[in-house]
Structures are given as C-alpha cells and as structure tokens.
C-alpha cells in the first residue's frame, strides 16, 4: 500500500450557513449568529458570522454590541440567536454522507471530522483528490452545505490544509509538497498556537513556519515547556503520528447550560454543575448505561472552549460519584482560570451496558 491519506473536513461558517439554508434570502446579507446572555439586550457574543459580515471585522467571540457597531452602515445586517438542535440535525445529516467514504471516521464536533481513506484510495493522492471532490459534491447535493477539505499524510497537515482556501476549498498536500506548503505559512497556522505563543515568536523575529526550524527542540522546550515545545518542533516539520480513531457523535451523553451570569465563582458554578449532573444522570439511567469517563466543559466569555476530564478506575452509574468527580474537575479547572464562564457543561463517556444488578433501581 502507498502513503497514509487523511482528510480533514470542515463545514464553512457552519451556524451561519445553517441559517442561510433555512432562509436563502440571508445569503446576500451580513449574518451573525449570537450567543445571547440571559441579561437581555445585546449582552452576549458572536458564535459565527458569514463571510459578508467578516469583511467588516466581525468574528467569533467579539461582543454583539461591537459587531453591531461594525455593521451599522449595513442596514440589512441580521443578528440571530443560536439554535443548537437545528444545527445538530444538519450536522448529523452531513456526517452520515461523509462517513460512507471513510475507511476510518473520526467525529470531532458538529462542523468537523477526520477520515482515514488510505485503503480506499490505495495511498494515491490523485485518487484522494477525486474522492474529496466527490464528498464535497455529495454534501452539497444532499445537505446543501459547502465544506472545505484538507488532504495530506496526517491529521495536522490535513487540518492546516482545510483552512487554507476557505470557504469551499480543497487543498491537497502530497508528501513531497509538505515542506514547501508549510514553510511560508504564518506560525499561527499551526493548530494550538495561540496569540500568546505567536507574540513570543514575533519578539524573536519569527513570522513563518520555516523560521521555526532554526530552533532546536531543547530551546523550544525551555521556552514553552516540554510538551508544547516538542509539539511545535514536530509540527514545523509536518510530523504527526496520531491515528484517525473511530469515533461517532453518540459515544457520550452531555448536558450544557447558559449561566444566569458570567462567573468564575466556585460555589455558583458548583450549584449549576450539581444540577446538570442530576439531569445527566436521568439520561444515563434511562439508557441503562454505566460510564467510566467524566468531563466538564466551559464556554468562556470570549466563546473559547475549555474542557477537563478524568477516567475512573471502574465503570459506575452512581449520581454521587458523578457529582463528586465533576466538582473536583471544576475545582482543578478554576485554579488558573482568567476568563469568566458563560456556559457550563458536564459529560460522561466510555459507556457500557448496566449489568449484573439484581435490582437495577438500587444501583442509582
């Protein structure tokens, strides 16, 4: 067999594109999908903006009031509340189309997935290019969505490539083109490199990925810590050995809530966590499941995401165990928390059938 071939598929401006599907008149207008807070008015932040709105400097995470200011000359600008149930339905339809073309399918989130197609295309990047185009056509025909696809030898480069020609892009980076492709990109193109790391490299007069090759792994480890330093060293060279892992959206149960106020106060957040655990436990009980992994999720005031999880020694379906671990994760996550939290979630995964209980109800 030839080279390993990995696709990263990313639905373009997903929430806003879903709204355009529902109302095609929106396609010619600046569209902003908003996470409104419970405080009324324009309190909240932008979740996604379409490309017309982006031309005016509107992007994910900025306050709704800033976005309205930037679009004040566009009287046709539209601001809509998020509708997660609707977006999930569209996502599931699109994912079922995509999955048909994969040897291995890894669900990442509502708007992205990885595919390993090495066997299907026999390691041939020309065949891979044709298959990627077929997927784009099928998603457009059946679900009416546009997506961008990156094709390369691993997840890292495929992800960078999918972002290269947005929207509606297809970028194929075959093995012999990796060095050339990566070299001239801005350092920020590497997933996981944020503004802080980018600013540090700017101070060192490093702007593009090629510049990073001047640094040895020891210097990077000293500057950014061993884990992050080694990652940057490998990423600059296009090295990534992480496999595409079979993962469906249905391998976990979760509950999420928008808080009455943005906060990082433990007592306030713990009260919400405990209530979410009660609701999540009902779902677990109804589906006759046990779980071995517990996680919490923050959507912060700037709409960035933060997650923390832990694996238990043994599977359980016990509410107190769920609450105890969720509270411990919350405590740990808040240790270095700078931003306030807008939405809070709890999830359980590593699910298994509840079995071997003579009286199932006594277990809960």
SS (H, E, C) 94-134: HHHHHHCCCCEEEEEECCEEEEECCCCCCCCHHHHHHHHHH
- Name the packing angle between helices 217-224 and 195-203 (round to 10°): 120
Active site positions, annotated: 112
Could you tell me the two tokens for 211? 């510049």
What is the C-alpha to C-alpha distance for residues 161 and 151, in angstroms, rounded to an integer?
7
Any known ligand binding at 111? yes
* 341-349 and 289-300 beta bridge pairing: antiparallel
What are the DSSP calls for 318-344, one per residue?
A: -HHHHHHHHHHHHHHHTTT--S-EEEE
Peptide bond into 159 cis (omega under 30): no
Residue 282 is encoded by which pair of tokens?
């009902």
- DSSP track, 275-306: HHHHHHHHHHHHTTEEEEEEEEEEEETTS-EE
Place of tokens 């599931």: 92
Q: Is 83 annotated as a binding residue?
A: no
Give me the phi and psi of 316, to 5 degrees please.
-145, 165
Can you say how many angstroms the Cα of residue 304 is from the centroid of all Cα atoms in its chain?
10
Kindly list the distances between the CA atom of residue 260 and the CA atoms of 132, 263, 296, 303, 306, in Å, as whole numbers in the listed order.
Answer: 44, 9, 18, 16, 19
Residue numbers belonging to the annotated binding site for Mg(2+)? 10, 111
Residue numbers belonging to the annotated binding site? 10, 111
């Amino acid at each position: 067999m030839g080279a390993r071939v990995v696709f990263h598929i990313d639905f373009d401006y997903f929430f806003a594109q879903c709204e355009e599907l529902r109302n095609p008149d929106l396609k010619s207008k600046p569209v902003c999908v908003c996470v409104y807070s419970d405080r009324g008015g324009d309190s909240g932040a932008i979740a996604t903006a379409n490309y017309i709105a982006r031309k005016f400097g509107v992007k994910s995470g900025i306050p709704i009031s800033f976005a309205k200011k930037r679009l004040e000359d566009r009287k046709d600008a539209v601001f809509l509340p998020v509708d997660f149930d609707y977006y999930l339905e569209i996502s599931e339809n699109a994912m079922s189309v995509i999955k048909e073309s994969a040897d291995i399918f890894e669900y990442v989130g509502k708007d992205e997935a990885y595919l390993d197609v090495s066997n299907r295309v026999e390691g041939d990047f020309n065949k891979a290019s044709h298959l990627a185009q077929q997927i784009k056509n099928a998603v457009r025909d059946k679900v009416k969505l546009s997506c961008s696809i990156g094709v390369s030898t691993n997840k890292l480069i495929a992800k960078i490539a999918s972002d290269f020609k947005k929207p509606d892009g297809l970028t194929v980076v075959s093995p012999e083109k990796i060095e050339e492709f990566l070299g001239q990109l801005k350092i920020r193109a590497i997933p996981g490199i944020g503004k802080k790391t980018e600013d540090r490299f700017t101070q060192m007069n490093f702007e593009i990925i090629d510049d990073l090759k001047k640094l040895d792994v020891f210097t990077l480890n000293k500057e950014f810590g061993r884990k992050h330093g080694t990652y940057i060293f490998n990423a600059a060279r296009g090295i990534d050995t992480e496999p595409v892992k079979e993962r469906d959206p249905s391998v976990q149960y979760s509950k999420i809530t928008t808080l009455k106020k943005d906060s990082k106060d433990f007592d306030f957040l713990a009260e919400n966590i405990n209530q979410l655990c009660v609701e999540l436990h009902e779902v677990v009980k109804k589906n006759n499941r046990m779980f071995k992994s517990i996680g919490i999720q923050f959507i912060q005031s700037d709409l960035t995401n933060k997650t923390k999880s832990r694996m238990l020694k043994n599977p359980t379906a016990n509410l107190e165990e769920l609450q105890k671990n969720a509270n411990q994760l919350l405590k740990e996550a808040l240790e270095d928390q700078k931003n306030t939290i807008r939405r809070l979630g709890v999830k359980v995964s590593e699910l298994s059938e509840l079995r071997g209980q003579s009286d199932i109800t006594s277990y809960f």
